[in-house]
Amino acid sequence: MISSVFFDLDGTLADTAPDLAAALNQILQEQNKPALPLESIRPAVSLGGNAMIKLAFSMEEDDPEFDELRQRFLEIYHQRLHQDTHVFPGIGKALDYIEANNMIWGVVTNKPEWLTHPVMEQLNLTQRTACIVSGDTTEFRKPHPGPMLYACELAKCVPETSLYVGDALRDIEAGRAAGMKTLIADYGYIAKDENPETWNADGSISEPEEIIDWLEKENRNI
């Protein structure tokens, strides 16, 4: 039976796109470039800061200005990283169900620790979670299974009875490689040209509360 559930942070547990988009548009303004609409930024959020800089400035990581722009972007984001961030509607009910049924839950994200922990604190989730594994907690980042396996160590559970929920291909790849069940958060930051049906996940949900039905069905079939 599934006894532990792990979540990606950006685009799965919390809607962080508004604050990230505001930070990106501020640096665009500083560089005398036009702002981008939130709709065009959202799909890049789950891919991290590098992807957002690439999107905004149409440059690659080997560009001499790339690192400076990325660092400035993260500085701006850090100043406002929970101004408009909130958990997705239905996440609260899903977490209540998990806890009420003696399951544990945690977070595995590629977001660096210095940004992850303030967001989790602001959302009042730090004390509730069994573990928080950030992008720099271990030697590896998703899609490597290392962070997933470390999360299991911290939460004192095993991958075979764990579920990972994420909104990016690398989330599903990491979960599968670790031996977990995987679930796609279709409500997250998935680009229109992506095809999640090819990701080989164990299922997908269009809103967070559907995690409850999926868990009940999965555990009933064991």
Please say if 213 is a catalytic residue: no
The candidate with the shortest Cα–Cα distance to 168, out of 131, 142, 150, 132, is 142
The candidate with the shortest Cα–Cα distance to 109, out of 148, 81, 71, is 148
Catalytic residue among 8, 19, 167, 171: 8
Please say if 96 is a catalytic residue: no
Q: Dihedral (C-alpha) 98, 103, 108, 109: value to the nearest 10 degrees?
A: 10
Sheet holding 4-7, edge to edge: 132-133, 104-108, 4-7, 162-166, 181-185, 204-205
Catalytic residue among 10, 15, 167, 171: 10
The candidate with the shortest Cα–Cα distance to 18, out of 44, 42, 36, 49, is 42
Instruction: Give the separation between CA 82 and CA 119, rounded to whole angstroms.
Output: 6
Q: Which of the residues are catalytic?
A: 8, 10
